[in-house]
Amino acid sequence: MFVCRMYRVLNNGGLDIRSAVSRSSPAISTEKVARPGGASKSVFYKSGPSHAHNHASYTRAGNQTRNEREERNQDILRRNSAEARHEERSAININRRVNDPGQSQVNHRGERRYCALCSETTSIVKPNLSLVKHKHESSLVWRTEAPMLPDGKYPCHTCEIGYHSACLRDLQPYTRNRYPVIVSSSILHQFLGRGNYGIKKDIIHVERCTIPGALVHDLHHAVAVTYYPIGMPVDILFCGGLNDVGRGRSALEVICALTFFAENVKHNLPGSSFAVCSLPLPPSLCRFDGDNHPRKTGFVNRKTTIIELNLRIADFNELQSRQSGVQTDAAPKFHTRGIRTSRPARPLVQKASNIMEACIGHRWSAWREEFPAYMLHPSDKVRLSMGRACGQYFCIIYNLRPRLAKKKIVGQIREQRGIY
């Protein structure tokens, strides 16, 4: 309507709309530009002395706005990183028992392996203060003590990101404000090493809480004093229990300790999940019929105990999956690591995940120690593959990758068709 009224006014005044537009606006010219393929393209050029100046001013203003936006985002990330680091440091120190001058109540007398975190704190499994000596690796403690750069980042030695923010909520939004944590004894203690830049690290940032030689209640205490005060849900993948079996505990006692650990985590951190890896069978604790190497004097074969514990762990993971809604039944299975297997002509159980039906002996090259009587820890190569499997588990529960690989899908199809 406005265009028609404008055209009527200009015609009544004796002016042509085309001449009026040409007088009021800069001239527009066209030019044929040849393309590489032989075709031509019409390019419009707008003449006028202020066009180039306006374009440059708009570009300069856009770049300035973009830089201001980036600086504002960096300030927000820096502030969030500092706040998250302060919260985690306060959460660690909230359970420490110190005297009025700020000194520890535990007299460690300069012990070499003194652990201040586990000695100076109390929990439901360690109600009294006591001297604790062990090697304790905690990603959360390292994040609070590591040197921070001016942009709010710290050096991380566990993930391929390297330097990143201390606020994991900004770093990994796909975890839905949850902490992925690997809790282990010496099986996965520093399986990536420190300073070894030739090894590919984890795709996502995964927290570590590992103590060599620890029992289930020791790891329970370490998790309670570090992650409970924060109040954020955690997804724990537990790999341990061989030290409990080595001290003579039965499979029922170990699974009861794991159940108490899981229920306590869910009570203090609602919405958390808990999964357990099946345990390997080390030569220092187990002996197969195909093993001809000698063992220590007074050796007790714990093979039946560990197999029973692995069966209970499989049922435990399925129960946790139904209760929490997280795919905890996809936890890695390490019961065949370091074992020589032989597939029989006809399997005893028509199932892909059968336990120990085809194991005939140990594979000595897959263990770290030299003599079978002392072989307890897998080799570095095997431990690295086990750690990668743990990283893939967290990618599965966060829907970053499919659950089953192609080979496993093909294996299930072959099983359904009866092809072996």
Using DSSP, state whether 322 is helix, strand or coil: helix
pLDDT in tens, the chain (420 residues): 444 544 444 455 444 444 444 444 444 444 444 444 444 444 444 444 555 555 555 565 556 676 777 677 667 667 666 667 666 666 666 566 544 444 455 556 566 778 888 888 888 998 888 888 888 888 888 888 888 777 778 888 778 777 877 777 767 777 778 889 999 999 998 887 654 555 677 778 888 999 999 999 999 999 999 999 888 899 999 999 999 999 999 999 999 999 999 999 999 999 999 999 999 999 999 988 878 888 888 889 999 999 999 999 999 999 999 998 899 999 999 988 888 877 654 544 444 445 566 778 888 999 999 888 899 999 988 998 898 899 899 989 988 887 765 555 556 555 666 654
Report the CATH number of the 66-98+110-416 domain: 3.40.50.1110
Determine contact, residues 313/276, Cβ cutoff 8 Å. Answer: yes
pLDDT value of residue 178: 87
d(CA 99, CA 213): 30
Which residues are CB-contacts of 11 (< 8 A; sequence separation ≥ 6)?
17
Determine contact, residues 315/328, Cβ cutoff 8 Å. Answer: no
Q: Which residues of 170-207 are buried (b: 16+ CB within 10 A; e: fewer)?
A: ebbeebeebbbbbbbbbbbbbbbeeeeeeeebbbbbbb
d(CA 257, CA 220): 9
pLDDT value of residue 222: 93
- Host H or E run for residue 238: strand 234-239
| Tokens (6 digits) for 154 | 């710290």
Percent of the chain as helix, strand, coil, to the nearest 5: 40, 15, 45
Count the Cβ atoms, other than its own, within 10 Å of residue 38.
Answer: 6
In one letter, which amino acid is 352?
Answer: A
Domain ranges of the chain: 66-98+110-416
What residues are paired with 87 via a beta bridge?
Answer: none
pLDDT value of residue 52: 52
Determine contact, residues 312/249, Cβ cutoff 8 Å. Answer: no
| Tokens (6 digits) for 152 | 């709010």
pLDDT value of residue 28: 43
d(CA 38, CA 253): 81
- Host H or E run for residue 388: helix 380-397
What is the value of pTM for the model shown?
A: 0.73
pLDDT value of residue 35: 47
Site of tokens 């120690």 = 369
